[in-house]
Amino acid sequence: MMKTPLAAHIKHPRELRNIRKQYYPYLAKYFGNDQLLVDAAISEAVWNAWKHGHNEKSDYPILLKVHFLNTRLIVRIYDQGEGFEWKPFPLSSDVKQWFPSVEDLEESGRGIILMLRVMDILRYNEKGNECLLMKKYLYQE
């Protein structure tokens, strides 16, 4: 288990390539074949923060925190933007049963659908500039 949380300041989502090297072995260990899906959810949250929170500008860093706790992964992504209106999105677990149509996937919000399907919990703060992702481990130590 990663003893201390990983914290990184990201100016552009492509910087995830280097940061990923630090947490990817733990994704493989705790999530097995689902490691790519979990990684995609984290990447999507960072891209959303950069695209929507920072308007694709690299002036301010996005803060990424990755915690591997005893039973679950917790990821927080903070951007310095104005936040976004997340309330129209159905963030409850019943979304896992929802299968979007092709038309739905053409609109924005695909990333939120991906994060909801992969992670156990997706939450935003009231302002909409902090994303919390949680997932229980598939494999324990």
Would you state the pLDDT for residue 68?
A: 95
Provide CB contacts within 8 A for 122, sequence distance 6+.
Answer: 91, 112, 115, 116, 131, 132, 133
Q: Using alpha carbons only, what angle is made at residue 75 by residues 22 and 28, rounded to the nearest 5 degrees?
A: 45
> Which of 135, 138, 139 has the alpha carbon at shortest distance from 38?
135
Q: Is the pLDDT of residue 98 over 80?
A: no
> Which domains does the chain possess?
6-136 (3.30.565.10)
Mean pLDDT over 111-122 rounds to: 89
Would you state the pLDDT for residue 118?
A: 93
Q: Is the pLDDT of residue 103 over 80?
A: no
> Which of 88, 82, 81, 72 has the alpha carbon at shortest distance from 132?
72
Mean pLDDT over 21-48 rounds to: 95
Mean pLDDT over 51-71 rounds to: 94
pTM for the full predicted model: 0.87
Mean pLDDT over 26-46 rounds to: 95
Is residue 32 very low, low, confident or very high in pLDDT (cuts 50, 70, 90)? Answer: very high
Q: Is the pLDDT of residue 93 over 80?
A: no
